[in-house]
Amino acid sequence: MAREPRPREPHLVALAAAMSGSVDLDAVTKRYGSETVVAGVSLVIPEGEFFTLLGPSGSGKTTTLSMLAGFVVPDEGRVLLGGQDMTRVPPRGRGLGMVFQNYAIFPHLNVAENVAFPLTVKGASKAEIKARVAEALAMVKLTGFETRYARQLSGGQQQRVALARAIVGHPKVVLMDEPLGALDKNLRYHMQVEIKEIQQRLGMTVIYVTHDQEEALTMSDRIAIMNHGRIAQMGPPREVYENPESSFVASFLGEANLVKVRRDGETVRGPGGAPLVAARGALSANEGLVFVRPEKVKVAAGTAELRPNHLPGQVLHASFLGNIMRYAVSAADGATFFCDVANGAGTEIHRAGDAVTLSWRAEDSRLLGS
C-alpha cells in the first residue's frame, strides 16, 4: 500500500481543510443573562449534507445558526468549518452563504446589484461578477429580471434573489433561517424543491432552520429536533418520525397517539388492561406511554377477541379528508385514538357510534418513559 505523503507545508493543508464544507459544533453554549438559550449542542455535519434544525419558537435555532455564522460568539465550545476552528472569526471571514427570513434584499439596489453584492464587497472583477450573477440568476430562474427593484417583485421572487445572493460566491456552506416563512403554501413547496435541487447540483452543505415539520421531513438528510436549547433527537427524517425517543419529539413531528400504559409483571397493559407489545422502547417506571402514529392504526368493524395490540373501541368522529378518513375512536379508561385510513378502492367506512377494533403491529409502536 502506498504511504500517505507527509504534508511539507502544514499551512497549505490547513487551507485545504478550510475549503471543505464540513461543519462541527463542539459543545456550544450561549447564555443571555441567567438564561441558557443553547446548552452544550454538538453536531458533526459532513460536506454536502442537508441538515435541518427543527423546533418550536424560542428553542434556540436562530442562536445556534448565528453562532455558525459568527454573529454570536458562544460562551463555551467551538465552531469548526472545514475542520478549522472559526469560533472567533468574524462572519465575513467564514465564507458562508446566508439566507435569513428578515434579511431582505436591499431596496435601493436592483436584482443584479443585489446578487452581485457579496462579490462586489470582495472586490471581484467586473467580468467575474457578470458571469457569476448570470449563473446564479439562471439557477433561481430569474434571468431577465436583472434591472428590477424589490418593489417590482413578488415575495417568492424576492426570496429567489436572496437565494441567488447566497450562492453567487459558490460557498461550500449555506445557512438558511426560515427562508420560506413568509410565502404561501404552494410557493413554499415550489421553493423547497428548487432549494433542494440547487443544493444537490452544487454539492453544498446546507444548515436549514424551520419550525415546519413537513418542510423538515421533505428536505433534509438529517434533522435535529431542538427543545429548550438542546437537541432532543437527531437522525434521518424517517427515523425520527417513526422512532421518536420522547413524547416531545413524537408530537412535534406530526400527529401521534400517546396513550397511558402500566406495567403488570412482565406484561405492559393499555386501556382496559389490554396487553400491548412494542418492538422498541421500554418503561423506566411502572407507568408510561405507548406511541403509535394514526396511519399505523387499523380500524376494523366489530369487536374482536382479546389479543396483544387489539383494543375494542367506539367511533366518536369520522372525518372525510379526501384521500383519507380520520377517525377519533374512544377506547377503555377514557383513552382516545386517532386513526388515519387511506380511502383506497373498496375501503370500509365506519360511522360515529360504530363498534370497532383498533390494532397495530408491534414494530409500529414504541414504549416511552414519559
Q: By the criterion CB under 6 A, which residues form the site for ligand ADP?
A: 32, 37, 55, 57-63
Report the nearest approach of ligand ADP to the CB of residue 29 (Å): 12
**In the complex, what is the shortest distance from the CB of residue 97 to Mg ion, in angstroms, rounded to a whole number?**
18
The DSSP output letter for 296 is G
Cα 180-183-188 angle, rounded to 5 deg: 65
Helix or strand run (H / E) with residue 367: strand 365-368
Closest by CA to 240, choosing from 229, 314, 251, is 251
What is the amino acid identity at position 62? T
To Mg ion, the closest distance from the beta carbon of 174 in angstroms equals 17
Which amino acid would we find at residue 4? E
Q: Least CB distance from residue 38 to ligand ADP, whole Å? A: 7
In the list Mg ion, ligand ADP, none, the entry touching 271 (Cβ below 5 to 8 angstroms by class) is none
Q: Which is nearer to ligand ADP, 61 or 310 (CB)?
A: 61
Please list, in sequence order, all residues whose beta carbon lies within 8 angstroms of the beta carbon of residue 142, skipping any fewer than 6 positions away.
Answer: 111, 157, 160, 161, 164
From the CB of 63, what's the least distance to ligand ADP, in Å? 3
CB of 304 to Mg ion, least distance (A): 48
Nearer to Mg ion, 20 or 36 (CB): 36
By the 10 Å C-beta count (0-12 exposed, 13-18 middle, 19+ buried), 212 is classed as middle
Q: Which does 125 bind (CB under 5 to 8 A by kind): ligand ADP, Mg ion, none?
A: none
Angstrom distance (rounded) from CA 284 to CA 366 = 13
Which entry of Mg ion, ligand ADP, none binds 179, CB below 5 to 8 A by partner kind?
A: none
Residue closer to ligand ADP by CB (options 19, 27) is 27
Q: Based on CB atoms, which residue is closest to Mg ion, 56 or 144?
A: 56
Total site size for Mg ion, rule CB under 5 A: 1
Q: Name which of 91 and 169 has its Cβ closer to ligand ADP.
A: 91
Whose cell is 424576492? That residue is 158
Q: Which is nearer to Mg ion, 22 or 62 (CB)?
A: 62
Stretch that binds Mg ion, among 15-23, 57-65, 259-267, 276-284 (CB under 5 A): 57-65
Nearer to ligand ADP, 32 or 106 (CB): 32
Please give the C-alpha separations between residue 195 and each of 37, 140, 201, 229, 323, in angstroms, as whole numbers: 29, 9, 10, 27, 28
Decide if residue 110 touches Mg ion (CB under 5 A).
Answer: no
Residue whose C-alpha cell is 414519559? 370
Q: Which is nearer to Mg ion, 133 or 209 (CB)?
A: 209
Instruction: Output the smallest distance, CB 286 to Mg ion, in A.
Output: 39
Question: What is the C-alpha separation between 285 and 219, in angstroms, rounded?
Answer: 37
Nearer to ligand ADP, 28 or 37 (CB): 37
Q: Which residue is nearest to Mg ion (CB)?
A: 62
Least distance (Å) from ligand ADP to the CB of residue 329?
35
Asked if 165 and 117 count as a contact pair (C-beta separation under 8 A), the reply is yes
Closest CA to 319 of 255, 363, 362: 255
Radius of gyration of the chain measured on its C-alpha atoms: 25
Q: Which does residue 357 bind out of ligand ADP, Mg ion, none, counting CB within 5 to 8 angstroms by kind?
A: none
For residue 211, the minimal CB distance to ligand ADP (Å) is: 7
Burial track 102-128 (b if 16+ CB lie within 10 A, e otherwise): eeebeeebbbbbbbbbbbeeeebeeee
Q: Which residues pair with 338 in a beta bridge?
A: 328
Q: Please check whether residue 351 is in contact with residue 319, taking contact to mean a CB–CB distance below 8 angstroms.
A: no
Residue 62 touching Mg ion (CB under 5 A)? yes
Q: Which does 55 bind (CB under 5 to 8 A by kind): Mg ion, ligand ADP, none?
A: ligand ADP
Site for Mg ion, rule CB under 5 A: 62
